[in-house]
Amino acid sequence: MDDGFTLPLSPDGMATFPGPEGLTLLVRNHEVNTGTGARGGAFGSGNRRLTDEVRKNMYDPGKAAPALGGTSTVVYDTKKQKVVRQFLSLAGTLRNCAGGPTPWNSWVTCEETVEKAGRLCSVDHGWCFEVPATAQPELAKAVPLKAMGRFNHEAVAVDPKTGYVYETEDRHDGLIYRFLPKVPGKLAEGGKLQALAATKKKSLDTRNWKETAVRLGEKIEVKWIDMDDVESPKDDLRKRGFTAGAARFARGEGMWYGNDAIYFACTNGGKKNHGQVWKLKDEKLELFAEPNDKDVVDNCDNLTVAPWGDVILCEDGGGKQFLVGVTPEGRFYKLAKNSSGGSELAGATFSPDGSTLFVNIQHKGLTLAITGPWEENRRES
């Protein structure tokens, strides 16, 4: 990269931001875990490029070796279809899976792990971190946003009207959370964490595994339960929340704000475990999609909302992997196919000008920039 570091492996969740002179700033997660070895990180063989200056900004310099997850930033010119520069923007975290953009031009990156300090790590993991979107090389100081909870994070979405941050949890019995910052736009200053609950049914199981608790298109009134001990050293936040009445979800994954609503995916929800998509708007939760057919959707993971209003899903299933579009009316279509192998597609997001779709082929470490025209080529089924 332009800062002299190596591009880390396993690109995952991403978002774009408007940059200077019409450039696009793409902030990209790297889902690097413990045990990957130096080859997975940014610092080369034996981490020889890891300097004291970098260590000062890392979250976890580790014991035997540093935590090698984090984010990189790509500055991209959509008109010339050219990378201007790319650089490391966050270091010292683990399993940066997804996250979400903020209205104040930062990326909240999420650790999908609850690894504790011990033989490998010098500090506990399981946090969110905030990364400013910058055009010039800048390694952000990695500050854990502990008030947003410690759990197996996946993604977040910010409601621009309120500044509230919604969060998914990648567990088979996970919850949906909402963070109310003390000061909107200042997440590091703390706030209150809550869990989503159905107003009329305590501890609702939305997974629809054994029985259909929520029907397709059904809208459920919701409320929010205040959570305590949110740093959760026992990783029991979801269990305590469910006991208190919060709704249970099937591995919450991607989450995005669009169409004046919050959309999120539950990757193995539904009676056949192929996935669900939910829509949260005006304190009502709607089961937006549950096809129960892997030929339609096979384990939806990351998602985004396209400029024309469709939800775009990244598959992470067992066969060929597709980008799948869902219209506001709930019709599905295949947008793209990974013909290079079985790797999941990850991080789908559009440039601010709507011209370019960015997506990762995770196992190959590739980030693609795909141009339209888009609406004219939609195929509905």
Question: Structure tokens of 305?
Answer: 């909302």
Q: Exposed, middle or buried by CB within 10 Å (0-12, 13-18, 19+), for 143?
A: middle
d(Cα 234, Cα 239) in Å, to the nearest integer?
10
Q: Which residues pair with 239 in a beta bridge?
A: none
- Burial 62-77, CB ≥16 within 10 A → b, else e: beebbbbbbbbbbbbe
d(Cα 248, Cα 208) in Å, to the nearest integer?
10
Q: What is the pLDDT along the chain (381 residues), one digit of tens a residue?
A: 999 999 999 999 999 999 999 999 999 999 999 888 888 999 999 999 999 999 999 999 998 889 999 999 999 999 999 999 999 999 999 999 999 999 999 999 999 999 999 989 999 999 999 999 999 999 999 999 999 999 999 999 999 999 999 999 999 999 999 999 999 999 999 999 999 999 999 999 999 999 999 999 999 999 999 999 999 999 999 999 999 999 999 999 999 999 999 999 999 999 999 999 999 999 999 999 999 999 999 999 999 999 999 999 999 998 899 999 999 999 999 999 998 887 899 999 999 999 999 999 998 999 999 998 886 655 443
Share of the chain above pLDDT 70, in %: 98
Q: Which residues pair with 18 in a beta bridge?
A: 24
Residue reference for tokens 């999120």: 264
Q: Are 114 and 235 in contact (CB under 8 A)?
A: yes
SS3 call for 40: helix
d(Cα 265, Cα 251) in Å, to the nearest integer?
8
Tally the C-alpha atoms within 13 A of residue 156's C-alpha that lie toward its C-beta: 35
SS3 call for 341: coil
Write out the H or E segment, with its range, that includes residue 57.
helix 52-57
Peptide linkage before 66 cis (omega within 30 of 0): no
Residue 264 φ/ψ, nearest 5 degrees: -150, 155
Which pLDDT score is estimated for 381?
39
Q: Among 68, 101, 72, which Cα is nearest to 86's?
A: 72
Tell me the C-alpha to C-alpha distance, in Å, between residue 340 and each of 99, 123, 178, 345: 26, 38, 38, 11
Write out the H or E segment, with its range, that includes residue 277.
strand 276-281
Give the number of residues written for the chain: 381
Q: Among 278, 176, 276, which Cα is nearest to 227's?
A: 176
